[in-house]
A and B are shown apart, each in its own frame.
Chain A
């Protein structure tokens, strides 16, 4: 239910306002939920489909990068800045303020962090998480949003909606790889 609750982050706002009892969200939401939620709340790993079944999780990530235009002294400065951004000190601050898991093995393997009631479940979930390689994120997102709506609004069978979504997504991927052959 994409627009269950009005607003830009409807589902999260609904949770913070006490209108939704449970949401699926990323660790990046911890900061705003902690700041805006009055009721008690907690975090747990995603449920499994069957009791004792295979756990599944989606791990999104984003990367810092250098563009081809960064050359010479600018490139050196950019590398220095990236090193600063990924340093333990900055990543710890980022974690505390935003809640996003640090891109630092040292911090992720920190036993104190793994035992944390809020961050712990996210870190345990990382062990079996898969990441999607997006070639056209907004188009790929649209495919899944439409599939959910086909089921919720148009009463299509989930199996059929998912099959159709898979075919559409495959087409986007095929077109991308046709244009950008893997080296």
Chain B
């Protein structure tokens, strides 16, 4: 059999496609395939251990809309984003700007701030659960020492969500700082120098040079951080292990509820429907953020 002669460029491209094809196949099999099959499952009454799985149209979505736990999970998830993102952005940017100003120990500080991000999530969540413990945790010990009233933290439906959000902010802060630092480094010094010659300083430099030129970085950070909060699961499950998502569904997230529906109660149809709702929400919110936040800057 004779092999047709191919040009070198064509041969190279073929090689590249061959290598790209393998991960693509893997991606289709473990990512895209299951995503589409979960859409299919969401239209069925799909009890994991029942042999009959009838088609029920949009019934699972109707059940979710009437399910107070799902509604609570959705509201909580939005609250995590609304609480977490502004705090995370403000702290991340503030620390990054400060880090950029110092010359000595900058690497050390950066490493220290980054450390929570590379700490195993489950271990960190359990340590935080201990720190928040009403009767045995160090936080209440500090409060008691300085004479302030003890707090229930994770034991209170009103405080628990904020206690969990604080842990996520701590965990991702280092990552945001590194992204912001890279963005800050990319802003040419000459803009600041020129503005200083014109008499601008301090807050005005930050407001009119740093913020606009950091916009692409800010958009990335907000979108990434939002997706992290929308997909919140591991930290909540481990910090409220005895009553997952509790107390009284105060920390419950959509993903944790999907897990409970699907893998504790075997109601795969409703779990898949909740996943579809979350997918549409993440897609919509991300597109909206990119649209609203992205501003081209010309100087």
Contacts and interface: CB of A to CB of B under 8 A. Distances in A.
A150 B247 CA distance: 9
9 contacts: A5-B136, A6-B137, A7-B126, A7-B241, A8-B241, A10-B242, A149-B248, A153-B157, A153-B248
Contacts of B155: 3, 153
A8 B246 CA distance: 14
Interface of A: 2-8, 10, 19, 68, 136, 138-139, 142, 145-146, 149-150, 153-154
Instruction: Give 10 nearest A-B pairs by CB, closest first.
Output: A138-B264, A2-B242, A149-B247, A6-B133, A2-B243, A3-B242, A6-B130, A6-B129, A145-B243, A149-B248
A149 B243 contact: yes
Interface string B129-155: 110011111000000000000001011
Interface string B18-60: 0000000000000000000000000000000001000000000
Nearest to B45: A179
Interface of B: 51, 126, 129-130, 133-137, 152, 154-157, 240-243, 246-249, 260, 264-265
A3 B248 CA distance: 13
A43 to B, nearest CB: 23
Contacts of B157: 149, 153-154
B149 to A, nearest CB: 16
A124 to B, nearest CB: 29
A153 B241 contact: no
Contact of B133 (A2, A5, A136, A142): A5
B246 to A, nearest CB: 7
Contacts of B133: 3, 5-6
B135 A4 contact: yes
B154 A3 contact: yes
A2 B246 contact: yes
Nearest to B263: A138
Given A3-B243, A10-B242, A153-B155, A136 B248 contact: no
B248 A146 contact: yes
A75 to B, nearest CB: 17
A19 to B, nearest CB: 7
Contacts of B260: 138
A154 B157 CA distance: 9
Nearest to B267: A136
A64 to B, nearest CB: 16
B246 A145 contact: yes
Contacts of A68: 51
Contacts of A3: 133, 154-155, 240-243, 247
A10 B152 CA distance: 16
A136 B266 CA distance: 9
Contact of A154 (B130, B248, B265): B248
B72 to A, nearest CB: 11
Nearest to A68: B51
A153 B156 contact: yes
A136 B265 contact: yes
Most buried by A among B154, B246, B260: B246
